[in-house]
Structure 1
Amino acid sequence: MDVRKAIEVSGLVQGVGFRPYVFRLANEHHLAGTIANTGAGVTIEVQGPPEIVEEFVARLPAEAPPLARITGVSVSERPSNGDREFRILGSRLGEAPRALISPDVAVCADCLRELFDPADRRFRYPFINCTNCGPRYTIVRGIPYDRARTSMSVFPLCAACQREYDDPANRRFHAQPNACWVCGPRVELWDAEGRPLEAADPIAEAAARLRAGDVVAVKGLGGFHLAAEATNAAAVERLRERKRRVEKPFAIMAANLARVAQFCELDDASRELLLSAQRPIVLLPKLVPSSAEGKQPHPIAEAVAPGNRCLGVFLPYTPLHYLLFAAGDFPALVMTSGNVSEEPIAIDNREADERLRDLADFFLVHNRDILLRSDDSVVRVSGGRPRQWRRSRGYVPVPVFLHEELPPILAVGGELKNTICLTRGTQAFLSQHIGDLENAESYRFFEEAVAHLERILEIEPRIVAYDLHPDYFATRWALARDGVERVGVQHHHAHIAACMAENHLDGRVLGLALDGTGYGTDGTVWGGEVLVADYRDFTRAAHLDTVPMPGAAAAIHEPWRMAVSYLYRHFGRAFLDLDIPFVRQLDRARVEVLLRMLERGVNSPLTSSCGRLFDAVAALVGLRERVNYEAQAAIELEMALPETPERHEAYPLAIVSDAGGYVLDTGPLFASLLDDLQRGRPVGTISQRFHDGLVEGFARAAVLLRERTALDRICLSGGCFQNAYLLEQMTSHLAAAGFKVFTHAEVPAGDGGLSLGQALVAAHRLR
């Protein structure tokens, strides 16, 4: 006798080919029934012999499509009915959405084969896709995921596409963005004034313009890129000048993996990332070309990433990208966000024309609307693991899965590298990268992101968590929001809570939070902190010594000021007699003004920031007196490390007791560093001794705190841990000392992960 069972499947099961998969599996077992998308995922009903139904239920999660992520399966009995076949029903509306939305997915191998097959009806069609690939999150208005709720709703399917959509044996069975030359979006090439050009093949014409050295704005999945040929130094310099991006590295898109291997070192983990469905930008060491005649010029223009040993590289992820590379035969293209520096990425054609017309010579546009801005994600392999630097396209909106249930909370992040976080049960939804909230356009993007995430998830948070810094835009926004309970969270506590949440930790831990800026509970700027923390509370147990930042924000942009501050703190005015290049090159009149500021405490807030310590050392060794982008001095100090670590004694940090905790005194470190400078030691040696000194100093502080607290778990967080050498050495030293060390991978260690930690702290404070 037949049985009928209802199966509720939750997780990432919409937009990933799950319904067609279930349809085929049911027919393979000769089962009758139905499947429908719902707000919670999918609902399946199957009817047939009991043993066959049981086999179906067992195979269902085990053989799911590769893009699916099942988080729950519940099975219940239903009365049998007269069903004789298995059918896909229309989506059920009216339920609170709990289904997960798929991220955008790189074009798959099957679609690529068809794209370049002259016999295929989609030959060279720039929007080819199937159930296994293509746009998802950036074209979705709501869930359940159906064409009517995407920006493809304005493109009715032609008869041929409709047949594919209706055919269970077809790869495009119920593929919502399905389209072709007859019924789908089209590409145009515009000039800088937004006028369409007459071009038989707009993509080939755009490639020719790039070959000629022009800058072309290219519409992608989550917004526009500004493209220039990466081997053309003049084109790259022109793009820098127009974008007002003096030295910050550009990302490059390489034609294929073989091309990447010509200019970067590749390991297995990086290869896997480059080829993944997410297609992030991967930070890779530059390959140093050589021949019998010695070192050769690098094939990628130096202006792409000046002063940096690494390149940010990614592979094409849309059909349009592949067609552009095929037409131009480029080794690599600069593909940088389509914006003026520090503004949000442009997504609309006319918006791009208005905002980018002074940056681009031509615009390669299309008429499929992007509904959500989403920059490219950035990942670096460190300690053998891929680690998110910027979690955005390809990863968002897949939630971070938590080990506990949280109420609906909105956490609004910090001022730099902003993301927001919305929680629902055991899921924490981090937004795409929003960026630095330093201009009106970024403020609007922030508000846009909050509204979008709340709308698409249909979550009305009653709790808003925010950073303690009173001048942050996100903080002011949170404090002005009505009808919610507001919870302020200290910056470094949020960092450690984010690391705890990612690693599913409970209870108290030691937390090492190293970064550039975070508002402390005493009103000073923190950033070199060891905390004893749980989700609810924390104690500041140790920190770097505190020094003034002469000129406040000016000291962040001019590292020489921090060098003077540290030298004056430890050696007084006697440092002016030092015979080292840094002192000899100082403008004595400016230094005198700075010293008077320090002596009188004028416009010189106190800081314990590890980032500012990096700045001071970078300035002292002659790497960087002024910076053009955040953390530039620290990055260049990391880049100065010897390629093969040398055996040197670490610079000493003295650990002194202070008010129930410890202070790491940098005086001995600077004394040893100055001695090396006077001896003419190489910058690489000084950089390594400095890095090693930080590692050994903080590791010793952790051991002392373990003796006091009996805590042997330690979390590492904060932007300084994007420094691969610092992270790897700190992890290995602490592990060798008997600690269980927890780090970030899925969530950025920098401020892109703050909102997750804020949400956890707020939830625990209000219990």
Structure 2
Amino acid sequence: MARALARSTVSPIRRLRLRVRGAVQGVGFRPFAYRLARNMGFSGFVLNDSAGVLIEIEGPDADRFPDVVRNEAPPLARIDSIDVLELAPSAREGFEILESLSGRSATRIGADAATCAECRRELTDPSSRFFGYPFVNCTHCGPRFTITRALPYDRRQTSMASFPMCAACAADYTDPENRRFHAEPVACPDCGPGLSHPITEVAAKIAEGGIVALKGIGGFHLLCDARNDAAIDLLRLRKTRDHKPFAVMVRDIDAARELARLSEAEEVLLGSAASPIVLVEPRACELSNLIAPGLARIGVMVAYAPLHNLLFDALAERRHHPPALVATSANPGGEPLVADNADAERRLAAIADLIVTHDRDVAIRADDSVMQVICGAPSFIRRARGFVPEPIDLGIDGPSVIATGADLKNTICVTRGREAFLSQHVGGLDNAQAIRFQREALSHLCSILDVKPEFAACDLHPDFHSVRIAQGLNLPVVPVQHHLAHVAAVAAEHQLSGLVLGLALDGHGFGTDGTSWGGEMLALDGHHWNRTGSLTSLPLQGGDRAAREPWRMGVAALQAAGYIDLAPRLWPGHSGVAQLTAMFERGMQPPWTSSLGRLFDAAAAIAGVRLVQSYEGQAAMEFEAQVRNPVELEGGFAIRDGRLDFRPLILHLAQRNLGAPAAADLFHGTLIAGLADWAKDGARSLGARRIALGGGCMVNRVLATGLIQALRERGLDPYLPRLAPANDGGIALGQAAYARQVIMNEYVSMEEDRTCA
């Protein structure tokens, strides 16, 4: 009786096929599945194919396997779904890794990942064959996106194809118990890429005050000692970058703690596999004041490639201990990041004292990502290395759309099924190199996704390069208004269906009426939208010059407030102010703009913070840096017929010499209160509750933090971009998401017409 009972409790043999989708190639998923299946006593196989990873297991208790796969997946894996199909038992013996299958891709590769702890240990272990090797990697770290030309993710499809493995690396690659099992970029000093110059020479050049162009994972950095004023000043001169902040690289998290006051969320970001640049509050330290002049925070990143770790070691051996290195994108002013060796010799020779290359090609260049923490959560300023090509889930399937973004901070977006893939940061499309890079990024993204878009989406602006690129794709084009795209991007990433009220706050966007918008309240519901309000407009004298010369917006704001006579007193002896004032007094009628970005410029100029700016957003960023404790000016704004008017605030700042900190406190505090009340009124009139916050002004942490809190206090639900930048770097996502709504609505309408017929 006991024997019969024991036999009845034995689990039956079952055979399951698992289709695993997500970022599951190039992250050690096959060896993980191999070891897991063998340890659990299953027979079967695992392979990569165009849809992701396919696993078959056979044995008792097979139904436990999918949960273990999901819960114990490799650290770099991102599982979107596991579909399970039961098959008839086959009596297969053993478990093996089979050859990859090609076909139309429905999977994706992972993003580049910072060097893992085990590889860092080997890097400094004299007994390891990877000792001092600047390209050490494994399945848990190293390049992925930037070396991959096509899927499936196999060595032959990457820029490692030209480096045949030596016997030792091949043994690691084929050993299921080794963490380099099927690690496609695996290499060692005997068979892998090499540097053009020894690390000791790089360290020597930096120690003597030189500038080094160093090829890394996604392209070249320009490096110098972050304590050396003369070196940084020379770098600014050669790069024609007068004031724009530089990022700094530190050895590890401990070094970052010494330089900056880090929150827990900031530490997590800095130490993540993505290893982005994070904006943090600096401590009093040895860093040069020339790194981020006029700003309250600095951009810090932790060394994320083996050659960075080796460089810090070499500097220490020379007894040269910089707390940080300036590490900025290697490009002449305004051009894309340099990634090619020959291109570096040609374009960087006038900037760097030493150019250090290596012979592993960068298949697709990618800048460092830039992030900050707002309300305790990460927020993008620039999305690139470490995050691309991770998709954004749109929640529903739809047609494949390619969106070409904006002309500033350009990115492109490609949708596939329910996923949106935002490209790495391209930059401003104001030169031929940048336009070529955009085409390169477009082609590469479509290639690795194996997708052929059916439609294109673009901005409304008739003169944008990005619009002409979309029109040249030979696809049906859906134009999307700039600020609508900002709001649609937030709604898309948060999967907000139904009515959403959006505040789109930025510098400039072409409106449907042909004027310049930039401080907009929009109602969005699927493919329906309308402009329900805006900031009171200001004269935009000089067009683009007004964006470069904030004093012009200061004079214009005084003209709009009816107090143009204050201008000469605020800026005595300024010939341009006198001329512009006289022109206004003679009845000049320039175009007008509702831009919040231009209002920031006006206030910064009136407060004496910045009259002329050398990079986009400089005046607003320096004004934000002056904030200590935002306070509201009573009566500082008015709301009439959907228009939000800050002229009383501007007049108050102009009539009183408050000093920059007090003016910044008053401006930011009143701005937050005015925008929150405006949103409350708009939401009440529409019966809405959800508020999407987009546009470049939402990169201002003081404004974003204060506005989120103020909206919540008024009973509203604010949503800030988290998976894409709030600035124009997220425009392509909104264009693609809104275009899909339009296309799907037209399809439904056509189907309804056929039904009625």
| Aligned counterpart for 2:395 among listed residues 398, 403, 409 | 403
In structure 2, distance between residues paired with 1:522 and 1:595: 29
> What SS does the aligned partner of 2:394 have?
strand
Q: Aligned-pair distance for 1:650?
A: 5.1
Which of 617, 620, 634 is the matching residue for 1:631? 617
Give aligned-pair identity as a percent.
44
- Aligned residue in 2 for 1:439: 431
Q: Which runs of 5+ in 2 are unaligned?
A: 1-11, 317-321, 746-757
The aligned counterpart of 2:750 is none
Contact 2:564–2:581 (CA<8 Å) still a contact in 1? Answer: no
* 1:279 and 1:394 in contact (8 A); partners too: yes
After TM superposition, the structure 1 stretch with the greater mean CA deviation from structure 2, 216-225 or 529-538, is: 529-538
Match of 2:100 among 84, 91, 108: 91
Q: Partner residue of 1:313?
A: 300
1:655 is the counterpart of 2:651? no
Q: Which residue of 2 aligns with 1:583?
A: 571
| 1:27 aligned residue | 38
CA RMSD of aligned residues (A): 1.5
Number of equivalences: 728
Q: Deviations over 1:56-104 (max 9, x none)?
A: 23312121111111111112233333521111011001x2101121100
The amino acid that maps onto 2:55 is I
Q: For the Cα contact (< 8 Å) 2:17–2:85, is it kept in 1?
A: yes
8 A Cα contact 2:246 2:299, kept in partner: yes
Paired position in structure 1 for 2:134? 126
Matches within 5 A, 1:568-717: 568-576=559-567, 579=569, 582-587=570-575, 591-593=578-580, 595-596=582-583, 601=588, 604-642=590-628, 645=629, 649=633, 652-657=636-641, 662-677=642-657, 681-717=658-694
Where in structure 2 are the equivalents of 1:492-571 lying within 5 Å? 492-571=483-562
Deviation at 1:631, TM superposition (A): 0.3
- Aligned residue for 1:282, secondary structure, equals strand
Q: Secondary structure of 1:636's match?
A: helix
- CA separation of 1:526/1:453 partners in 2, compared to 1, >3 Å: closer, same or farther? same
Distance across 2 between alignment mates of 1:372 and 1:574: 55
Give yes or no for the alignment of 1:423 onto 2:418.
no
Aligned pairs (5 A) from 1:296-311: 298-311=285-298
Alignment match, 1:197: none
Unpaired runs of at least 5, structure 1? 190-201, 290-297
Paired with 1:489 and 1:496, the residues of 2 have a C-alpha distance of 11
Which SS does the other structure have where 2:357 is aligned?
A: strand
User: What's the CA shift string for 1:279-322, capped at 9, x where partnerless?
Assistant: 000000121x3xxxxxxxx4111111111111100011010000
The answer as to whether partners of 1:510 and 1:715 remain within 8 angstroms in 2 is yes
Secondary structure of 2:671's counterpart equals helix
The structure-2 alpha-carbon separation of the partners of 1:102 and 1:338, relative to structure 1 and needing over 3 Å to count, comes to same
Worse overlay, 691-700 or 220-229: 691-700
- Pairwise CA distance, 1:137: 0.5
Please give the alpha-carbon distance, in whole angstroms, between the structure 1 residues aligned to 2:669 and 2:607.
16
Verify the 8 A CA contact 1:535 1:760 in the aligned structure 2.
Answer: no
In structure 2, how many angstroms separate the alpha carbons of the residues matched to 1:500 and 1:334? Answer: 37
Partners in 2 of 1:82 and 1:143 — Cα distance? 32
Equivalent residues of 1:637, 1:687 under 8 A apart? yes
Q: Do the aligned partners of residues 151 and 203 (structure 1) sit closer, same or farther apart at CA in structure 2, a change above 3 Å counting?
A: same
Equivalent position SS for 1:540:
strand
Identify which of 20, 38, 44 aligns with 1:9. 20
* Map of 1:327 onto structure 2: 314
After superposition, give the CA deviation of every residue in 1:128-184 in whole Å (9 maximum; x if it has no partner).
111100110100011111111111111111111111111111111111111111111
Q: Does structure 1 conserve the Cα–Cα contact (< 8 Å) formed by 2:631 and 2:670? A: no
The one-letter code sitting in structure 2 at the alignment partner of 1:586 is: H
Are the counterparts in 1 of residues 206 and 225 from structure 2 also a CA contact under 8 Å? yes
Shift of 1:621: 1.1
Q: Give the aligned partner of residue 359 of structure 1.
A: 351
Any conservation in 1 of the 2:636–2:648 contact (CA below 8 Å)?
Answer: yes
The SS at the match of 1:584 is coil
Q: Deviations over 1:221-245 (max 9, x none)?
A: 1000011111111001111000000
Whole-Å separation in 2 of the counterparts to 1:136 and 1:576:
56
What residue identity is the alignment partner of 1:506?
S
Structure 2 residue 201 is matched with structure 1 residue 205: yes
Read off the aligned partner of 1:119 and give its amino acid letter.
S
Q: CA deviation at 1:3?
A: 3.0
Structure 2 length-normalised TM: 0.94
1:721 equivalent among 677, 680, 698: 698
Q: Given the alignment of the two structures, is residue 216 of structure 1 paired with residue 193 of structure 2, yes or no?
A: no
Tell me the residue number matched to 1:228. Answer: 224
Query: What secondary structure sits across from 1:687 in the alignment?
Result: helix
Worse-superposed segment, 565-574 or 448-457: 565-574
1:94-243 alignment runs, 5 A limit: 95-189=103-197, 202-243=198-239
Alignment correspondent of 2:278: 282
Give, as a single letter, the amino acid of the residue that structure 1 aligns with 2:294.
G
The AA in structure 2 aligned to 1:717 is G
Tell me by how many angstroms 1:480 deviates.
2.8
2:250 counterpart letter in structure 1: A
- Looking at structure 1, the residues matched to 252 and 41 of structure 2 have their Cα atoms a distance apart, in angstroms, of 43
Q: Match of 2:8?
A: none
Can you list the C-alpha shifts for 1:383-431, whole angstroms capped at 9, x where unaligned? Answer: 1111111110000001011111121000111011011000011110000
Please say if 1:349 is aligned against 2:336.
no
Q: Which letter does structure 2 place at the counterpart of 1:79?
A: A
1:254 to 250, 262, 281: 250
> Do the aligned residues in 1 keep the contact of 2:503 with 2:691 (CA within 8 Å)?
yes
1-structure distance, mates of 2:491, 2:450 = 27
For each residue in 1:669-719, what CA deviation from the matched residue of structure 2 results, as whole angstroms up to 9, or x when unmatched?
A: 122222322xxx232111111111111112222222223111111111111
2-structure distance, mates of 1:88, 1:447: 37
Change in CA separation of 1:345 and 1:646 when aligned onto 2, cut-off 3 Å = closer
Deviations 1:581-628 (A, max 9, x none): x232432x65325642685556x3210100000001111111111000
Matched-pair contact (CA < 8 Å) for 1:379–1:389: yes
- 1:177-232 CA distance string (max 9 Å, x none): 1111111111112xxxxxxxxxxxx1011101100011110001100001111111
Match of 2:593, as an amino acid?
T
**Cα separation, 1, equivalents of 2:520 and 2:176:** 58
1:59 matched to which residue of 2? 68
- Structure 2 counterpart of 1:265, which letter? R
For residues 588 and 16 of structure 2, the distance between their equivalents in structure 1, rounded to whole angstroms, comes to: 74
Contact 1:717–1:750, Cα closer than 8 Å, also in 2: yes
Alpha-carbon separation, structure 2, partners of 1:3 and 1:532: 53
Counterpart-to-counterpart distance in 1, 2:343 and 2:581: 44
| d(CA) in 1 for partners of 2:177, 2:421 | 34
1:502 deviates by 1.2
